[in-house]
């Protein structure tokens, strides 16, 4: 395991179904929304919370009324029936609309060590529908260096505060060039073609617990909160799974 890596996962309970390595990764999760502001589900109706034994572990996005996209590292090792997806909530303490999971689908070439293709599609037990619940379209936008993406989540508001935020929060951060990001992470990991970086602006970033949540550009889902080092550290922007890199996988998974 690479030292100091955070996986954005707030859940720190030993689950027997997980491998020893998976448990180690969870228990060593350290900080990634910092410097953002509170928002409501009315502004992000596609946002869902993933739970295990009613404990919040990660965020996710509703692609259709039956399918959710999240990060693979959030759900790898769990059985579908151990997961609950909660939608239509601003606060984690709200009951919301709850659905079970019948399938967890990961890319065949997902790598839990490098976070290559860190994405997972979840099929819900029943359709998730309500007035304040919306779906989000997969990315087909083209962006440029310096464009801003919007992140949503219930993660830590500081690297030093280990509990999740009860209230949904959002932050807007700029894209960071691949070459620059690769240089910043050269001692920590590889920024592959399935990833992009964003952040490094006046203490704004995603944080632990935001994993699996959306990175939105011009109203479309263009990234998934994946990994990084610390929270809002100027030398380490957040790293996200590129939706364009896993779009074919997502579309095929929703046909299974």
211 labelled catalytic: yes
141 vs 127: CA distance, rounded Å: 28
- Considering 164, 165, 208, 211, which one is annotated as catalytic? 211
73 vs 16: CA distance, rounded Å: 16
- Considering 61, 73, 164, 226, which one is annotated as catalytic? 73
Instruction: Pull the structure tokens for residue 28.
Output: 């060593």
Can you say whether residue 230 is alpha, beta or left, with left for phi > 0 and alpha for psi between -120 and 50 degrees?
left
Could you tell me how far CA 49 lies from the centroid of its own chain? 10
Dihedral of the CA atoms 193, 5, 216, 69 (nearest 10)?
80
SS3 19: coil
Write the CB contacts of 61 (distance below 8 Å, at least 6 apart in sequence): 46, 47, 48, 68, 69, 70, 136, 213, 214, 221, 224
Range list of β-strands (E), the chain: 5-6, 37-38, 47-52, 55-62, 67-70, 83-87, 97-105, 120-124, 137-138, 148-153, 169-176, 195-198, 214-217, 220-229, 238-242
118 labelled catalytic: yes
Sign of CA dihedral 188, 242, 177, 147: negative
CB atoms within 10 A of CB 65: 15
- Considering 8, 30, 118, 226, which one is annotated as catalytic? 118
At 244, phi and psi to the nearest 5?
-60, -30
Please list the active-site residues.
Answer: 73, 118, 211
């Amino acid at each position: 395991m690479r030292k100091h890596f955070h996986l954005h996962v707030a859940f720190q309970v030993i689950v027997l179904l997980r491998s020893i390595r998976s448990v180690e990764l969870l228990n060593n999760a350290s900080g990634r929304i910092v410097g953002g502001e509170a928002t409501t589900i009315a502004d992000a109706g596609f946002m869902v919370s993933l739970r295990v034994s009613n404990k919040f572990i990660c965020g996710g996005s509703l692609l259709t009324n039956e399918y959710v996209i999240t990060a693979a590292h959030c759900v790898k090792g769990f059985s579908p029936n151990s997961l609950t997806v909660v939608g239509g909530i601003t606060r984690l303490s709200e009951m919301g609309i709850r659905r079970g999971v019948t399938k967890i689908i990961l890319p065949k070439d997902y790598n839990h060590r490098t976070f290559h293709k860190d994405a997972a599609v979840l099929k819900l037990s029943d359709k998730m529908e309500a007035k304040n619940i919306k779906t989000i379209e997969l990315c087909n936008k083209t962006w440029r260096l310096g464009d801003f993406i919007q992140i949503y989540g219930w993660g830590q508001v500081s690297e030093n505060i280990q509990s999740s935020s009860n209230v949904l929060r959002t932050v807007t951060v700029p894209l960071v060039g691949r070459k620059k990001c690769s240089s910043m992470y050269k001692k920590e990991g590889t920024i592959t073609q399935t990833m992009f970086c964003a952040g490094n602006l006046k203490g704004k970033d995603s944080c632990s617990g935001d994993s699996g949540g959306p990175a939105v550009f011009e109203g479309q889902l263009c990234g998934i909160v994946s990994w990084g080092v610390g929270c809002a550290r100027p030398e380490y922007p957040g790293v996200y799974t590129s939706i364009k890199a896993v779009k074919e996988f997502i579309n095929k998974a929703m046909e299974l």
